[in-house]
Amino acid sequence: MNIQVSVEKPSSIRRKLTIKVPALEVSKRFERTLGEVQKTAKLKGFRPGTAPLSIVKQFYGADVRHNLLHRLIDEAFQNAVVQEKLKAVGSPQIETGDEHKTGAGEHDHTIDETKDFTFTATVDILPEIEVKGYTGLALTKDSDKVTKEDIEKTISQVLDSQSSLTTVADAKAKAKKGEFVDMDFAGGVVTEKGLDERPGMKGSRLLEIGSDQLIEGFEEQLIGMVKGETKTFQLPFPKDYFEADLAGKTAEFTVTVKEIKRKEMPELTDEIAKQVGYESVADLKAKAEAHLTNQKKTDSDRKLRSDLLAQIIEKNAFECPQSLVQAQTRALANDVAQNLKSQGFNDQMIQEAIGSELPNLAKRAENQVRASLILEAIAKKEDIKVDSKDVDAEMSNMAKSMRVEEDKVREFYLANPNRRDDFEYKIREEKTMKFLLEKSKIKTA
C-alpha cells in the first residue's frame, strides 16, 4: 500500500504516527470493494450480480465506505509500523478527525473515496534497555529443610478434615476462642438519625471464634457469651474496607447465640489414614514429608528468582509501556475472578474484591512486565537463544508432567506460529534465569 508517514515522539516509548493514504489509493480500494459487492448484490428488479455499479453504490456505498475505513486503518497502520521499523505493542489509539453523528449521541467515522485519507495512530513501543548490573548479585536462598513441626502441622490439617462438631451440652458454658458459635445476627451503620439497617449485614451463621472471617473485633465480642444470650455492640469498619460506602463508618450488630459447638479431632490411626487415601500412618507421614519438601523447594526457588529480578529491576530504570501493564493487569484480575468463582463467590462479590485489589494487581503486573522486558534484553545481550534441542526437551518434560503423548503437545504448540513463538519465548526466559542464577553469589539461610 502506498502511504505517507510522519512520526512524533510524545515519550521514549510512545509514537504518534500521522498516516496519509492518497486519494488514488482510496478510490481504487473503494471501486474494487464496490465491485465485489456488485457480484452478490440483491436489488429489486435485478438478478444477483447484474445491478449497475451506480445503483449498487447508491444502496451499499455507505456500508462499503464504513468497512473500507476500518480495513484501510488496519492495513495502513501495519505498513507504517514496518516502514518505520517500530517495535509496537498493544493496540493503537486511532483518531480520524472525520466524525459524524449517527444518532442517539453516538459518533461514527466515514471516508470520502475522492480525497486523501489521513489519520493518526498513537502506540506504545518496546523500550530500548541498556541492561546492566545483572551478574554477581548477592542472594540468600531460604532453607527448604522440612522440620518435625512442619509434618505435624500437615497431619493436623489432615485430621482436621476428618473432625466433627459436637454441641456443648452445658447451657452455662461460655464461648471460647477456637469454638464455633451458631448465631443469628443483624446490623447496620450508625448515623446521626439512628441505625441505618443493612440487609447484607443480617442473617445466620456458624462462625469459628478466632478465624478472622469478619471485621476486626467482631469475633472477640462473642467470647464469653452463652447459649440463648443476645448482645449488641458497635465496631468501626476499617478505613480501607473493600466496600467503599462502609469504609471508616461505625457498625452496630445485635447477635443471638443459638448454640456453641466444639471440634472433635479423631486420633491418628491407620484406619483414619486409609480414610483419607493413605496406606497407613507411616505412609501418610512419608508422603507428607515428600510433599512439604517439594513445596518448600518450590517456594524457596520462587523467592530466590523474585529477589534476583527485584535487584535487577532496581538497577535498570526505564519507562514501561502502559498497554502491556494494562493487559497483564487484566490477565491477573481474570485469574483472581476465576479463583473466587471456583470458591462460590457471586459476580458482585468478585467485582468488589477485584476493585479493592486492583492497585495491588496493577503493581504486580508492572513488575512482571518489567521483569519480562529485562530478561529479554539480557537474553539479547548475552546471545541466549533457543534451539531445537531446547524445544524437544521442554516438549518431553511437558508431556510427562501432563501425562499426555508428546506428539499431542508438539502438535498443539507447533501447529500455530503464535503458540510456537510464545513457547520458545518462555524457554528463552527460563534459560536466561538459569544463566543469571549461575552468575549470582547465593548463600542458604
Model confidence pLDDT, tens digit, residues 190-217: 999 999 999 888 999 999 999 988 889 9
CATH of domain 164-264: 3.10.50.40
DSSP bridge partners of 17: 7, 121
Residue 437: per-residue pLDDT? 97
> From its phi and psi, is residue 2 left (phi > 0), alpha (psi between -120 and 50) or beta?
beta
Position 44 scores a pLDDT of 84
User: Cα(109)–Cα(24) distance, rounded to whole angstroms?
Assistant: 20
Residue 98: what pLDDT? 56
- Name the residue ranges covered by the structural domains of the chain: 4-125, 164-264, 297-444
Rg (CA), the chain: 32
Domain 297-444 falls in which CATH fold?
A: Trigger factor, domain 2 (1.10.3120)
Q: Across-strand partners of 190?
A: 195
Which stretches of the chain score pLDDT less than 70? Answer: 98-109
Q: What's the pLDDT at 301?
A: 96
- Tell me if residue 433 falls in helix, strand or coil: helix
Please indicate, yes or no, whether the overall pTM of this predicted structure exceeds 0.85.
no
Please give the pLDDT value at position 285. Answer: 94
Q: Which fold, 4-125?
A: Alpha-Beta Plaits (3.30.70)
pLDDT of residue 56: 87
Enter the DSSP assignment of 117.
E
Instruction: Give how far Cα 92 sits from Cα of 41, 124, 179, 366, 418, Å.
Output: 34, 8, 58, 20, 20
What is the pLDDT, as a whole number, of residue 109?
Answer: 64
* Residue pair 26/116 in contact by the 8 Å Cβ criterion: yes
Q: What is the pLDDT of residue 45?
A: 83
Taken in order 161, 167, 169, 174, is the CA torsion positive or negative?
Answer: positive
Could you report how far apart the first and last alpha carbons of the chain are, in Å? 62
- C-alpha cell recorded at residue 181: 458459635
* DSSP H or E segment with residue 365: helix 347-381
